Amino acid sequence: MRVAVGCVVRVINTAPEFGFLVFLPSFFSKELGFGEGRWLTLLAVIYGTHVLCNLLFGVIGDTIGWRRTIAAFGGLDCAVTTLALYFVPKVVGGHYWVAIVVGMLYGITLAGFVPISALVPALAPENKGSAMALLNLGAGGAAFVGPAVVSLFLGPLGPAGVVLIFAGLYVVSALLTLCLTLPDEPATPAPPAAPPVGQTALRA
C-alpha cells in the first residue's frame, strides 16, 4: 500500500511539468510577449537549475530525512513556486528577469522530490524490483496525467485554474509523503544486566 502511495507521489512530482509544456509556451511567448526564443531560454534555465540542485537535495535528504525533504521542499515548496511561476510574471508584466527568477525557484524546489527514488524501494526491502517498477510507472504516468489535467480544465477554468489545480496536487503529495513511513528497524539489543552487588564485591 505504501509503495502504491509512493507511486502516486511520483506521478504528482512531474505531472505539472508536462502540463506546463502544453499551455505555458503560449502564456510566456505570446501573452507576455517574450517570444519563442526567450521562452526556450527560460525553459532551459528551469531545468538546468533543477539538474544542478539534484545533488544538493540528495545530501539534504540524507541529513534531515527523505520524507521531510520530499514533503517540505518538494510538495509544499513546489506548490508555492508553481503559483509564483504563473501569477508573478502575470502581475508584474513583461519583466523577463522576474520570469527567470521564479523559473529558477521552481526548478530548485522540483529537485526536492529527488529522495523519492531512494524512499520507495526502502518501503519494500524484500520487493525492491517491484517497488522500482511502480516508481517508473509513476514517472511514465505523469506524462499522461499532466496534459490530461490541462485538456480537462483549461477550457472551463482557464490557465489560472489549471495552475491552482497543480499547486493543490503538490500539497496533496506532501500529505501523502507523510504516510510513507519506513518499516520498523530492529530493536536495539538491551544492555547486559548489572551483576548482583554481592558478586561485584566477590570479584573485587
Lowest mean pLDDT among 12-16, 66-70, 129-133: 129-133
pLDDT over 80 at 190, yes or no: no
| pLDDT bracket for residue 1 (50, 70, 90) | confident
- For residue 66, is pLDDT > 80? yes
Q: Is the pTM of this model over 0.95?
A: no
Q: Give the right CATH number for 2-183 from 1.10.10.10, 3.40.50.1980, 1.10.230.10, 1.20.1250.20.
A: 1.20.1250.20
Give tens-digit pLDDT for 107-156.
Answer: 999 999 999 999 998 888 888 888 899 899 999 999 999 999 999 999 99
Question: CA 106 to CA 50: how far, in whole Å?
Answer: 8
The full set of domain ranges for the chain reads 2-183
